[in-house]
Amino acid sequence: MGAFPEHCADGVALAAVADAFDTPCYVYSQTALRARYQAFERALEGVDARVCFAVKANPNIGVLGVLADLGSGFDIVSVGELERVITAGGAPEDIVFSGVGKRRDELERALDVGVGCFNIESESELERLNTLATRRSQSAPISIRVNPDVDARTHPFIATGLSENKFGVDVESAATLYQRAAGMDGIEIVGVDCHIGSQLTDLAPFSDAAERVVALIDRLAAEGIDIDHLDIGGGLGVDYQADNPPSIADYVAAVCQAVGDRDLRLIFEPGRVIAADAGVLLTRVDTLKPAVATDARSFAVVDAAINDLIRPALYDAAHAVERVGAAGDGAVTRIWDVVGPICETGDCLANERELTLAEGDLLVVYSAGAYGSAMASNYNTRPRAPEVMLADGDMIEVRAREAVADLMRGEKRLLPER
């Protein structure tokens, strides 16, 4: 399926990865990562634009390194992501620093390395950055993130462009803030920023948001504030299960149409649409619990859990799941709930899937390359799964499996008083 036809990618069988690294295990295809990034490059041919991969989607240094080698820029939301990009070979001047709550030390580190742009989300942040930059005799390049009050028609947890969301400032406040920024010694105005949400499967919200932000840019120009770039954010969805998102080419064309012939450089911040289908999660069936009553459910308990992939529990997300290879002896065909061993009823990776399964069978969970390992935790003291990059017939471990000792590092037992 997708980047893993016949359960194989880059000349390597998924079953071989599971044998070499055990399960659960994240697997990425270098070929697929490159292809999705290059799809943006093709769509933007002849357009003054920069693609900045949203690091939050997948911060693995191996993944970031593949994209850095292609010339990608990066969208970050923390100093930790900044350090990852630099370690992976990304250029600081090609980084945009987003995020609604940047700490002082994070701003200082970003000034140290010279990030390309700070996406400002509040008056307070603008004042703080100006003070820090002025003390250093620097001029910090900024965009202000505009909240256009556009319904992205996505899950409420990943909608960011409505007036009720915490992100950005409204159009009127943004215009006033730009006037203030224009008079600050430590600030250089370079752009306008907008991001309305994630996993969007309709072009209309993108077009609507772009038109509203472009109107602000025209207004600023009339007031003597020239804007060099428009950062339109990311958010283009992927086809988890019959979601039917627009193509990258159609998405780019819609934004370009809204911008028209204005002299603006465009910045795109794709994350999910580059990484999701380039990765899968491998897991094995540990225990089968077939229903014993007609109104009961049948459970396939696997060794992956919500600490490995929280999206189904958090967003009601639906990932395609398949068995890899032939079913084991005594396999049973049923409608299974694929669940993990975590002590939570919500620990379910897939609901009501018709599968033929036996204990020990290997399963693949598709479209797990974005917001999969990136959101993993150690809940129930479970070590995080390894991450493996497939490239030119090789299996490269780009993150080793944690040991339980790793999880306890830095903790200490209180000694009894004597």
Check the CA dihedral 94-96-97-99 and report its sign.
negative
- Structure tokens of 55? 């690091």
Name every residue whose Cβ is closer than 8 Å to that of residue 338 and which is 6 or more positions away in sequence.
Answer: 300, 302, 321, 348, 349, 350, 351, 353, 355, 363
CB 285 within 8 A of CB 366: no
Please enumerate in sequence order all residues whose Cβ is within 8 A of that of 290, keeping only pairs 6 or more positions apart, or say none.
298, 332, 334
Torsional sign, CA 31, 36, 37, 43: positive
Q: Taking CA 158 as the corner, what is the angle to CA 103 and CA 239, rounded to the nearest 5 degrees?
A: 130
Residue appearing with tokens 């003291």: 381
Distance from C-alpha of 308 to C-alpha of 319, rounded to nearest angstrom = 13
CB 265 within 8 A of CB 50: yes
Decide: 249 and 40 in contact? Cβ < 8 Å.
no
What does the alpha-carbon distance between residue 412 and residue 256 come to, in Å, rounded to a whole number? 56
DSSP notation for 323-369: EESS--TT-EEEEEEEE-SSSSTT-EEEEEEEEEE-TT-EEEE-S-T
Catalytic (active-site) positions: 343
In the block, tokens 């018709």 appear at 354
Buried b (16+ CB within 10 A) or exposed e, 263-293: ebebbbbbbbbbbbbbbbbbbbbeebeeeee
In terms of DSSP bridges, do strands 348-357 and 332-339 run parallel, antiparallel, or are they unpaired? antiparallel
Beta bridge partners of residue 397, listed in sequence order: 388
Bridge partners of 145, per DSSP, are: 193
